[in-house]
Amino acid sequence: MKDEAISTTGQLLGTVLAVQANFYRVHLDVEAGKQENSRLILLCTRRTRLKKIGQQVMVGDRVIVEEPDWAGGRGAVADVLPRHSELDRPAIANVNQILLVFAVADPPLEPYQLSRFLVKAETTGVDVLLCLNKSDLISPQMQEQISDRLSAWGYQPLFISVQNKLNLDQVSQHLSNKITVVAGPSGVGKSSLINQLIPDTNLRVGEVSGKLARGRHTTRHIELFDLPNGGLLADTPGFNQPDLDCTPEELLYYFPEARARLAVASCRFSDCSHRDEPDCVVRGEWERYPHYLEFLEEAIAQKTHLHHQADPESSMKLKSKGKGQSQYEPKLESKKYRRIARKTQLQALQDMYKESEE
Q: pTM here?
A: 0.74
335: which DSSP letter? T
State the Cα angle at 51 between 45 and 16, rounded to 5°. 45
Instruction: Report the DSSP beta bridge partners of residue 41.
Output: 27
Rounded average pLDDT over 12-18:
93
Mean of pLDDT values over 67-92: 90
Total residues belonging to the chain: 358
87 and 56 Cβ atoms separated by less than 8 Å: no
The Cα–Cα gap between 191 and 203 comes to 6
Sorting pLDDT into bands at 50, 70 and 90, what band is 340? confident
pLDDT at 118 over 50: yes
- Nearest CA among 130, 138, 140 for reference residue 100: 130
What is the structure's pLDDT at 207? Answer: 43
Q: How confident is the model at residue 34 (pLDDT cuts 50, 70, 90)?
A: very low
Percent of the chain at pLDDT > 90 equals 53
For residue 2, pLDDT over 60 is answered with no
Omega before 157 within 30 of 0, i.e. cis: no
Q: How many CA atoms lie within 13 A of 91 on its CB side?
A: 9
Give me the phi and psi of 342, to 5 degrees please.
-65, -35
- pLDDT at position 348 is 77
- Residue 88 has, within 13 A of its CA and on its CB side, a CA count of 8
Predicted pLDDT of residue 217: 41
DSSP state of 128: E
Lowest-confidence range among 107-116, 118-127, 148-157, 333-342?
Answer: 333-342
Mean pLDDT of 220-229: 81
264-289 residue pLDDT tens: 999 999 999 999 999 999 998 899 99
Q: What's the rounded Cα separation, in Å, for the pair 139 and 115?
A: 23
CB 40 within 8 A of CB 29: no
CA dist 197 and 176 (Å) reads 11
Say if residue 50's pLDDT is above 50. Answer: yes
Whether the predicted pLDDT of 216 surpasses 80: no
* Pairing relationship of beta strands 86-87 and 92-93 according to DSSP bridges: antiparallel
Sign of CA dihedral 215, 219, 223, 226: negative
- pLDDT given for residue 344 in this prediction: 79
Cα separation, 185 vs 115, whole angstroms: 12
Q: Are 238 and 185 in contact (CB under 8 A)?
A: yes
Which tops the pLDDT comparison, 198 or 16? 16
Of 156 and 200, the one with more pLDDT = 156
Residue in 61, 67, 52 with CA at minimum distance from that of residue 25 = 61
pLDDT bin (cut points 50, 70, 90) of residue 198 is confident
Q: Is the pLDDT of residue 312 over 90?
A: no
Q: How does pLDDT run across 228-259, given as a tens digit for each residue?
A: 888 999 876 544 457 888 899 999 999 999 99
At residue 215, does pLDDT exceed 50?
no
For residues 13 and 3, is the Cβ–Cβ distance under 8 A?
yes
The answer on pLDDT for 51 being more than 80 is: yes
pLDDT at residue 320 is higher than 90: no
Q: How confident is the model at residue 111 (pLDDT cuts 50, 70, 90)?
A: very high
The closest alpha carbon to 14, from 23, 89, 2, belongs to 2
Q: State residue 281's pLDDT score.
A: 94
Rounded Cα gap, residues 268 and 291, in angstroms: 23
